[in-house]
Amino acid sequence: MRRVFARDALAQALLPCIGVVLLLALWYLASYVRVVDPVLLPSPVAMMTALWRGMTAGSLAHDFLRTVERTTVAMLVAAVIAVPLGILLGSSERLYRSVEFVIDFFRSTPASAVFPLFLVIFGVGDKTKIYVASFGASLVILFNVAYGVMNARKTRLLAAKVMGASRLRVLTDVMLMESLPQTFVGLRNGVSLALVIVVVAEMFIGSVDGLGHAVFDAQQMFEMPDMYASIFAAGALGYGLNLLFLLVEKRVVHWSGK
């Protein structure tokens, strides 16, 4: 009986690996039988070698860290603006309704459309890349925080009120905590968006480093293994950031969904 359980657990753990192995096998096969020009699609081994070289000896590690840095700063700026503002707007439904259209409008505007505007204001340096990402992420965060606060359970607010909590205490002790699960949804969506914007900005807006730059550069030089390595690094970063937020969320909002 025990053995069966152990085997089941192992099978469960290995299940997600199947897709990865399948993809690698297909890729390897495709490059081996040359269905695609090997210059366009190098083998996974070539990609991994390029990744290793780039991360240890080449500039990929530096590019990776620069993208992490820009995304982090963009998220910090976005959170510092959007979380307090979201709480403020959410604490009064009438206030939120009065600006809802504006928020929804800009939330639906592709953030990339404001690049030229930000370029005029902040120039071609890092500021534009970071602030456009902050702009996009902050609207997503704002929207989620405000809804989290607005959807705080009425009974919980009443319970605090009935115990004698002032309006401020209700806000800090109950509404804020109630909004946390939704706030994390906003942060996770926000960081994904921020990464997208940062990488795009690194490709086209006078960049000398960053993963976007690395991808674009490798493509320009026709260094296909390097390009795939950079794409892979960007994917790993996005996945890692999402995972990080999920783990933090699980610890902080331990009561969510229970």
For binding to another protein (CB under 8 A), which residues are involved? 153, 155-156, 158-159, 161-165, 169, 173-174, 177, 180, 253-255, 258
Cβ-based nearer residue to another protein, 127 or 156 = 156
Give CB contacts under 8 A, 24+ apart, made by 169-177: 171/87, 171/91, 175/87, 175/90, 175/91, 175/149, 176/87, 176/149
Cβ-based nearer residue to another protein, 2 or 254 = 254
Alpha helices in the chain (DSSP H): 2-14, 17-32, 44-56, 60-91, 93-108, 115-122, 126-150, 154-162, 167-169, 176-204, 211-220, 224-252
Q: Please state, in angstroms and rounded to a whole number, the distance separating the CA atoms of residues 4 and 19.
A: 24
Cβ-based nearer residue to another protein, 103 or 253 = 253
Cβ-based nearer residue to another protein, 231 or 253 = 253
- What is the nearest approach in angstroms of another protein to the Cβ of residue 85? 23
DSSP 175: I
- What is the nearest approach in angstroms of another protein to the Cβ of residue 256? 9
- What is the nearest approach in angstroms of another protein to the Cβ of residue 160? 8
Cβ-based nearer residue to another protein, 203 or 253 = 253
- Name the residue type at position 57: A
- What is the nearest approach in angstroms of another protein to the Cβ of residue 257? 9
- What is the nearest approach in angstroms of another protein to the Cβ of residue 153? 5
DSSP 140: H
Q: Please state, in angstroms and rounded to a whole number, the distance separating the CA atoms of residues 252 and 30.
A: 45
